[in-house]
Amino acid sequence: MHYIFVSTMRSRRPPSVPCTVGPEINPGRQCIRADDVAIRQVVYKLFNFTSMATKKIQQVLAPPPPHMVGDGFRVHNFFPSGYTMSQERMSPFFLLDYNSKIDFAPRDNPRGVGVHPHRGFETVTIAYHGKVAHHDSWGNSGVIGEGDVQWMTAASGVLHKEYHDEAYSKAGGPFQMVQLWVNLPAKDKMSQPKYQAITKAQLGRYEVPNDGGVVEIIAGSFEGVKGPASTFTPIELYNIRLKKGAKLSLDLPASYNTGILVIEGAALFSDTETAPTDSFVLFANEGETIDLEATEDCVLLLLSGQPIDEPIFAYGPFLMNSKEEVQQAYDDFRQGKFGQLDE
């Protein structure tokens, strides 16, 4: 359960509500109890605040030079390696690999990444063009196509492999994907692995007024519409598909680490900066509102989440809290404790 503190820096404010529920955090301040960001949005509408502070743009980042992951994924790593961000800067998101749109030639033997281990985090793969097949050592498998999401919780440890779907590989064509690594809190890093296969049809769907487009909610909630993904910490993850000229406002906690990846087209952010295709807009941790205007038809991926305030020790395919935990992960992997998976 989260507590939303209502700022008094508004032209209108609700009557004082003493903070009497839960632990006494900042006693005496006004607070409203809420389950998610959707209720935060309702609170501001309920009390008719005239505005929320604009979430400032820290930087618009061009795509870093691409590199290959296996032979099937040509990615731009925006963080943690692409720019001089700390490992905590986008927490709970640890890694963003963006496979910008590329055409693969037809091939009988599917391209991809062979068997490898993970522990301590989740991988989230979002498909925009092309298809990817997944298999892991817990018996999970599936194919994600355009608009689908594959959410794998590695947690205590899995082996998995990812390849272009066989049918897509034989046909070839455009390929565009995003993969995120989402960190887990220390208390959940050794929980049981799980797998969420989410189709485009299962995504939450908010229709932008005046036929302006659609917001597809993967995780979190927007305007009362919830996404299907279950998460360990508060996360807002949306595909925002806007038609040229359409406008949309997002309200997110100031403390959340927030960024927007421009998948297609271009958009104007908070009336200040325009970001083109394949760029990443990094927001400062101040202000709550992001105003969007599509300068052309566009697809945007919003990442926003409550930071995990814990040490990070990452090495190779493991994301833990200490060097000793990473060493234990390697020992467990060598001893076969992650299960078995054929190439």
Collapsing DSSP to helix, strand or coil, 228 comes out as coil
- 7-55 residue pLDDT tens: 333 333 333 333 333 333 333 333 333 345 555 555 544 444 445 799 9
Inter-CA distances, 303 with 61, 138, 154, Å: 15, 28, 20
Side chain identity at 227, as an amino acid letter?
Answer: G
pLDDT the model gives residue 22: 34
pLDDT the model gives residue 84: 85
pLDDT the model gives residue 18: 34
pLDDT the model gives residue 24: 31
pLDDT the model gives residue 52: 72
Query: Residues for the chain: how many in total?
Result: 343
118 vs 125: CA distance, rounded Å: 15
Q: What is the pTM of this model?
A: 0.86
The two three-digit tokens of residue 157, written as one number: 């440890």
pLDDT the model gives residue 51: 52
pLDDT the model gives residue 57: 96
Say if residue 110 is preceded by a cis peptide, omega within 30 of 0: no
Domains and CATH numbers, the chain: 2-46 (no CATH), 65-201+319-327 (2.60.120.10), 202-305 (2.60.120.10)
Shortest CA distance to 339 belongs to which of 208, 160, 200, 127? 160
- 295-331 residue pLDDT tens: 999 999 999 999 999 999 999 999 999 999 999 999 9
**Which positions of the chain have pLDDT values less than 70?**
1-51
Collapsing DSSP to helix, strand or coil, 207 comes out as strand
* Dihedral, 112, 116, 117, 123 alpha carbons, nearest 10: -10
